[in-house]
Amino acid sequence: MDAWAGSGEGGAAAQRAEALLQEMYNLYRSGGHDSLRPSTGVFNAVIKAWANSREKIAPTRAEQILDWMETLKDLDVQPDKFTLNTTMHAYARAGGPEASKKAQALLAKMHTLYRNGNVLAKPDTISYNIVLNSIAKSGGNGAAEAAERLLAKMHSLHGMGDPDVKPNVVSYGAVIDCFSKCGEPDAASRADNLLASMIQLHQSDPARNADLLPNTYVFNCCLNCWAKSKEADAASKAEEMLVAMSRLYSSGMESVKPDAFSVSILSSKSSKLRKGFGSLTYIFSLDALSVQYTACIDAWSKSGYRGAAVRAEQLLDKMESKYLAGDTDLKPNTYTYNAVISALAKSGESGAAARAERVLQNMVNRQRNGEGDAVKPTTIK
């Protein structure tokens, strides 16, 4: 059953694992096969197979097997932390408001089981992070507030002496991710405050709060909030965040170094930033630091500030000069140039059209010099 759970064969593997469990149970109940009595670990393997299957019915089927476990008093099996975390993970992976409600209900069930004497079902940080992730993926109204409340509950439980429920960088990242998706007017400010709080907690006691060391993913989620925000100072805030990242990394904080994973996360979150800019290969061909600069340029483009186009051009100039000096993480591509052209088009400044044409010509020259589709001009902007 473990082999089927890890086989990667989807629903067929889950069905086979469940059939083996049913056969095992039937042989045990028929008598003479005491060695085949299913254990909690066996049930967990089947639940894991369903959770890994990505089938539409996977979360429901995993929970049904969990419910079946609880009826088998004669087997002396009971759900443990792995059972419930895996079932919640199936719901979190499914996404949507209803799946998130199911995950939250299972977390509440863990607390109930623990209070009733099942010490193996005690929820931990992983349990809460799974539910926070389900809320972030839910897309439901009030998701950000629900995630904030759950984070506050983690802090409260830990403050009251529960060492197993301590918020970490994953917890904060999930809540900030909620704000990057919620579209509320003050989402960026609230995400920024959460990031600042996490950094303050880490800096107040780096040893005790080592698990609150900020990382690139959290910064990117917050940066994404500012890039999509309609707040008056969104563009300057986005740039401040980029500067803060650079300073922290320069000071030795390796965890905020941009990497390919952060590119995929930021790109997958920035549907508004991607809209209308052609193939996703433009975004995914960017290195992570380039994505962050581009998000800042885009924020300036949308800001409506006097001088926004100049600032966008300056950021592009900085990217190009550093790239030409050998910093491949700052390679501009089509999306970057389009954002600058957009800023110039909106600026109404004298000479903006000629400046925009020079940016376009720079793209053409780079493409001719062998950089291919990464800097290919599009019909957008």
pLDDT value of residue 371 = 82
CA angle 24, 49, 124 (to 5 degrees): 110
Residue 82's CB is within 10 A of a number of other CB atoms, namely: 18
pLDDT value of residue 289 = 60
pTM of the model: 0.72
pLDDT value of residue 250 = 74
pLDDT value of residue 262 = 32
Q: How far apart are CA 78 and CA 43, in angstroms?
A: 10
Contact between 154 and 114 under an 8 Å Cβ cutoff? The reply is no
Task: Give the burial string for 213-251 (b: 16+ CB within 10 Å, else e).
Answer: bbbbbbbbbbbbbbbbbeeeebbbbbbebbebbeebbee
Q: Which amino acid is at 293?
A: Y
Instruction: Report H helices in 121-215.
Output: 125-136, 143-159, 169-182, 187-204
pLDDT value of residue 192 = 92
Cα separations in angstroms, 287 against 48, 214, 226, 275: 35, 20, 20, 19
pLDDT less than 70: residues of the chain: 257-292, 379-381
Contact between 10 and 51 under an 8 Å Cβ cutoff? The reply is no
Q: How far apart are CA 365 and CA 371, in angstroms?
A: 9
Write out the two tokens for 72. 């088998």
pLDDT value of residue 290 = 66
pLDDT value of residue 116 = 95
Q: At what angle do helices 216-228 and 288-303 cross, to 10 degrees?
A: 20
